[in-house]
Structure 1
Amino acid sequence: MNTEPGAVPDPQMVRQAIDWMLRMGSERASPRLQRQCADWRAADQRHELAWQRIQAMSQEVASHYRAVPGAGQALEASAQRLGRRQALKLLGVVALLGSAGWLGRDLEQWQQWSSDFATGVGEQRRFNLPDGSQLQLNTHSAADLRFNARQRLVSLRHGEIMISCQPDSRPFQVSNRDGLFETAQGRFSVRQQDTCTRLSVTSGKVAIYPAQGGALTWAQAGQSWQLDQQGLRLIARPDMDMGAWADGLIVTRDMRLQAFLEEVGRYRHGYLGCASGIADLRLSGVFRLADTDALLALLPQTLPVQVRTRTRFWVQLEPA
């Protein structure tokens, strides 16, 4: 069991970690209780993973509530009207509800256990398929494999994949919520976002069959396409190389700073954003994904910004 950011905590261990967090707060963390908590964390690596995840959640939620005028005072007033343990439990429930999006991401990771291939946040993996083709998964992605005598099919459940397809008598297909993508040989990536799917073809050509129906469209090498409820359209001038992640890079072309930070945020836990006054600054360059903290530290060298870090899980760029 590893404790890297992409690792998935056991739900039972998470519940135990929440209980320890409440006890540590309600009993004022006596030396004896601190030793007991430390012993529990050291007894199993899964305990430590769950503890770190709950602590990260607590810090993120606290930062969000600090940013909302009056929220902290309201929570404190509620705590004063209740006993210490009851108040902490109340605040714990509020925190869990307030960070539903954060927890939802991890609940989605737990669902990935049923997938044939999956990655956690910040993790990228490469798999060799039975036909000699290669499948790469980007951060926080999941896919299923269905190979038989008639088909080669990868079902993208969420996230982003890169296919390097070897020739075969069977077509190679990728399906997802928005459509079906088919090729005989080539290299292409498919990214499922909240409201659309993006296809980028590096080599060969890919047939696009929209789930909503419509004419077959061929995507050529060097092209990027977007597919959503409104239909299919060619992305004339992408602000980012959609396949660069497979080489561990983000390559931007006159990209808005806010959009860039949203992209970097896919590879790390917690909040990453910028002040509204600098959101429209433009950025072009090649950045390595291996260390997102080091990546962010480079930005003040080319843009009039500064990096403000409250915790490792709360980072914001502000005007220099």
Structure 2
Amino acid sequence: MRFTTATCCATKTRIEVAPSPNAVKQAIQWMLKLRESGNNITLLQQCEHWRKADREHELAWQRVVALHQDLDLRAIPGAGLALQTLETSQQRLRRRQALKLLGGVALVGSAAWLAKDMDSINTWTSDLATTTGERRTFSLPDGSILQLNTRSAVDLAFTDQQRLIYLKQGELMLSCKSGHPIRVRTRDALIEGVEGNVVVRQEADCTRVSVAQGNIALYPSADRQLLIGSYQEWRVDNMGAHRLDHVDMDASAWTEGLIVTRDMRLADFLVQVSRYRHGYLSCSDDIANLRLSGVYRLEDPEHLIQLLPQTLPVRLNRHTRWWIRLESVA
């Protein structure tokens, strides 16, 4: 069961179909080749032939040209990997008219930044979703409260037979009301709660489950059930389910607009802050293991980053407004 809202408009709007991710990838390949070749005549002719071969090719080329007005594509050290990333970016291309959203943001450092940005949620294909830095609260049909953290999306399947939330990306907190069970499905596990609060975060290689209050049933596989009580945090991946003995961050603090750390590595802290801002944020290897403990407000990630040199022996190296790298003061 999908919850959608339809709108009508009396005036006709010209709808332009976005080029496929593959066409955009090819267009960027041509752009990179031409930039590196010094405008080789033969290559120019080959590119022209490619553009004329299909209307979609020309549309993709125009999108990339518009992007290139703001970005220097030569600044992508991992261009090959970045181009591979584009193949999986169909949702983003549809929502934001190809790569126009990236205008004014430098593609720098490596393909990792591009891959992260390409993972942004397509709000048009999800029942409920949030964008970068956004947190939202929803009342579900059964009276349960669902909160979504930054860059998160879910689909809902509420029928007479089941109440299911499919976490497609990101993080949620579910406050269950007593009554029939409500389930959360991720890539790695099925979580079932009857009453209480549970936080579920889907990461690239695992699902993290934290019970803030109450009890839940965790199914890491179809034939295994784990009963989890309050204040427990678990990691589920392709190796199974594992309880975490050391937790360096309060899993539910984001619902109050906070990051609360306990002896957390600087590198891991920056990964968390990166979820709430656009761009690329990293640190050099020699300071990655510096530790932080404290309470940090999420309402202004840039200000939060500015505060780090006041408590740690680090300095901010700004390559652009969006690309920040922390380095040692030594």
Tell me the equivalent position of 1:135: 146
* TM-superposition CA deviations, 1:216-236 (whole Å, max 9, x none): 111111110111111111111
2:160 to 149, 158, 173: 149
Equivalent of residue 64 in structure 1, options 98, 109, 133: 109
1:161 aligned partner:
172
Using the TM superposition, give the Cα deviation of residue 14 of structure 1 relative to its aligned residue in structure 2, in angstroms.
8.9
Q: Does residue 1:285 correspond to 2:294, yes or no?
A: yes
Matched ranges for 1:252-263 at <5 A: 252-263=261-272
- The residue that corresponds to 2:115 in the other structure is 101
CA contact (8 A) 1:275 1:318 kept: yes
Percentage identity across paired residues of the two chains = 43
Pair 197,21 (structure 1): closer, same or farther in 2 beyond 3 Å: closer
User: Deviation string for 1:122-150 (max 9, x for gaps)?
Assistant: 21111111111111111111101111223
Shift of 1:309: 1.7
Do structure 1's residue 207 and structure 2's residue 217 form an aligned pair?
yes
What is the aligned partner in structure 2 of residue 20 from structure 1? 66
| Inter-CA distance 207–23: structure 2 relative to 1 (3 Å threshold) | closer
Q: Which runs of 5+ in 1 are unaligned?
A: 1-9, 26-45, 66-96
Structure 1 residues 132, 301: closer, same or farther in 2, change over 3 A? same
**What are the Cα deviations for residues 69-115 of structure 1, in whole angstroms up to 9, with x where unaligned?**
xxxxxxxxxxxxxxxxxxxxxxxxxxxx8975155324xx33x4211
State which of 269, 275, 282 in structure 1 corresponds to 2:278.
Answer: 269
Relative to structure 1, the CA distance from residue 158 to residue 51 in structure 2 (aligned partners, 3 Å threshold; closer, same or farther) is closer
Q: Judging changes above 3 Å, is the alpha-carbon distance between structure 1 residues 119 and 23 closer, same or farther for their aligned structure 2 residues?
A: closer
Moved over 6 A (4+): 12-15, 46-50
Q: What's the counterpart of residue 30 of structure 2?
A: none
- Residue 306 of structure 1: SS of its match in structure 2? strand
Once the two structures are superposed, what CA deviation does each residue of 1:210-256 show, in whole Å capped at 9, x if it has no partner?
13x44311111111011111111111120111111111111100001
Aligned to 1:250: 259
Cα distance in 1, alignment partners of residues 300 and 149 from structure 2: 15
* Letter in structure 2 aligned against 1:271: Y
| SS of corresponding position for 2:192 | strand
- Do the aligned residues in 2 keep the contact of 1:17 with 1:54 (CA within 8 Å)? no
Summarize the Cα distance change of 1:100–1:307 in structure 2 as closer, same or farther, 3 Å threshold. closer
Q: Distance in 1 between matches of 2:96 and 2:206?
A: 37
Q: Determine the structure 2 residue equivalent to 1:76.
A: none
Whether the aligned pair in 2 keeps the contact of 1:251 and 1:287 (CA below 8 Å) is yes
> Are 2:319 and 1:310 equivalent residues in the alignment?
yes
2:66 corresponds to 1:55? no
Is the 1:137–1:161 Cα contact (8 Å) retained in structure 2? Answer: yes
Q: Distance in 2 between matches of 1:98 and 1:185?
A: 39
Q: Quick one: structure 1 residues 256 and 125, their matched pair in 2 at CA, closer, same or farther if it must change by over 3 Å?
A: same
Following the alignment from structure 1 to structure 2, what is the Cα–Cα distance between the partners of residues 177 and 98? Answer: 22
TM-score by length of 1: 0.72
3-state DSSP of counterpart to 2:109: helix
Counterparts in 2 of 1:16 and 1:281: CA distance versus 1, 3 Å: same
**Does 201-210 or 12-21 show the bigger shift?**
12-21
Query: Given residue 293 of structure 2, which amino acid in structure 1 is its aligned partner?
Result: S
Any conservation in 2 of the 1:172–1:183 contact (CA below 8 Å)? yes
1:234 and 2:243 aligned: yes
Work out whether residues 252 and 285 of structure 1, in 8 Å CA contact, stay in contact via their aligned partners in 2: yes
Question: 1:177-230, CA deviations, whole angstroms, 9 ceiling, x for partnerless residues?
Answer: 11111111100111111111000011110100113x443111111110111111
Residue identity in the other structure for 1:316: R
Scaled by the length of structure 2, the TM-score of the pair is: 0.70
Matched residue count? 252
Shift of 1:163: 0.3
Compute the displacement of 1:22 (Å). Answer: 4.8
Contact in 1 for aligned 2:287/2:327 (Cα 8 Å): yes
User: Are residues 1:115 and 2:161 paired?
Assistant: no
Q: Give the superposition deviation at 1:280.
A: 0.7
How far did 1:53 drift?
2.2
Matched AA of 1:203:
Q
Aligned with 2:135 (options 103, 107, 124): 124
Instruction: Determine the C-alpha separation between the residues in 2 that align with 1:55 and 1:195.
Output: 31
Deviation digits for residues 42-72 of structure 1, max 9, x if unmatched?
xxxx99997552231xx12xx327xxxxxxx
